[in-house]
């Protein structure tokens, strides 16, 4: 697995991970905006609640796929030992993602838990990014 | 605005956000193409060579000055 990741990224595992994690964080910010429009907390003339919900879900599906890819690359290449706070935040993030998917599947889109899980997810995305990509970009 | 147009617009915004994030982060890494890296390495080598030549010239001048002093 380690060789596969090294070959796919042409030896730039950290750089690819930093780029993907940054895309994830940027999309997570966009998800917050879409969720606010979806719950009618923010009203925009050019975007209604229905389309915002649809795109929030589509973008969320993309985020899940990307997050799983980054997590697999991270765990198989670096493992848990070097992780520290980043590993803890990463695991909590994956757990929160799974919880949100479950909440949507079981409770539907009207589940009162969803906004709270969403906010927690965003916080975890930010914390996970800050403890790896943020550190790396700050150092370089 | 029609809902389908809103959806397409929102998806395009998401793609633009992803593209900007990729551009900003890769710009932070600097040049990554092998051609650009080779040019960079060449420049560093040239700078080192020039520095070594200057040091040698300085050393020679110092030796010549010492020899001239001894001759006197």
Mean pLDDT of B22-45: 79
pLDDT band at B41 (very low <50, low <70, confident <90, very high): confident
Mean pLDDT taken over chain A: 89
Query: Inter-chain contact B29–A25, Cβ cutoff 8 Å?
Result: no
Sign, Cα dihedral of A79, A84, A85, A91 = positive
Q: What is the pLDDT of residue A53?
A: 92
Q: How far apart are CA A73 and CA B28, in angstroms?
A: 22
Please report, rounded to a whole number, the percentage of residues in chain B having pLDDT higher than 70: 90
Phi, psi of A45 (to 5 degrees): -70, -30
pLDDT tops 80 at residue A83 = no
Q: Which site among B11, B18, B20 would you substitute to test the A interface, given the most A Cβ atoms closer than 10 Å to its Cβ?
A: B18
- Point out the residue among B7, B17, B25 whose CB comes nearest to the CB of A18: B25
Q: Count of A–B CB contacts within 8 Å?
A: 57
pLDDT tops 90 at residue B71 = no
pLDDT digits over A4-26, tens only?
Answer: 878 787 778 888 899 999 999 99
Of the ranges A44-48, A57-61, A82-86, A129-133, which one carries the lowest mean pLDDT score?
A82-86
pLDDT tops 80 at residue A109 = no
pLDDT tops 80 at residue B33 = no
Q: Could you tell me if A15 and B29 are in contact, meaning their C-beta atoms sit under 8 angstroms apart?
A: yes
pTM: 0.76
Q: How far apart are CA A129 and CA A127, in angstroms?
A: 5
Q: What is the pLDDT of residue A82?
A: 67
Q: Which residues of chain B have a CB within 8 Å of the CB of A34? A: 10
């Amino acid at each position: 697995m380690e060789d596969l990741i090294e070959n796919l990224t042409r030896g730039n595992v950290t750089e690819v991970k930093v780029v993907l994690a940054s895309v994830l964080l940027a999309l997570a910010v966009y998800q917050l905006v879409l969720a606010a429009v979806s719950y009618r907390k923010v009203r925009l003339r050019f975007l209604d609640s229905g389309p915002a919900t649809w795109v929030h879900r589509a973008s969320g599906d993309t985020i899940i796929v990307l997050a799983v890819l980054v997590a697999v690359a991270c765990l198989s290449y670096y493992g848990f030992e070097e992780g520290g706070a980043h590993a803890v935040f990463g695991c909590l993030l994956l757990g929160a993602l799974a919880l949100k998917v479950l909440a949507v599947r079981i409770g539907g889109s009207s589940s009162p838990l969803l906004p709270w899980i969403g906010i927690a997810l965003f916080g975890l995305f930010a914390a996970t990014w800050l403890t790896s990509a943020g550190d790396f970009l700050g150092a370089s | 605005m029609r809902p389908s147009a809103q959806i397409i617009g929102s998806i395009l915004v998401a793609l633009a956000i992803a593209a900007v994030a990729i551009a900003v982060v890769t710009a932070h890494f600097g040049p990554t193409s092998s051609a650009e890296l080779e040019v960079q390495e060449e420049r560093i080598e040239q700078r080192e060579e020039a520095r070594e030549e200057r040091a040698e010239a300085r050393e020679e001048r110092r030796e010549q000055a010492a020899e001239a002093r001894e001759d006197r």
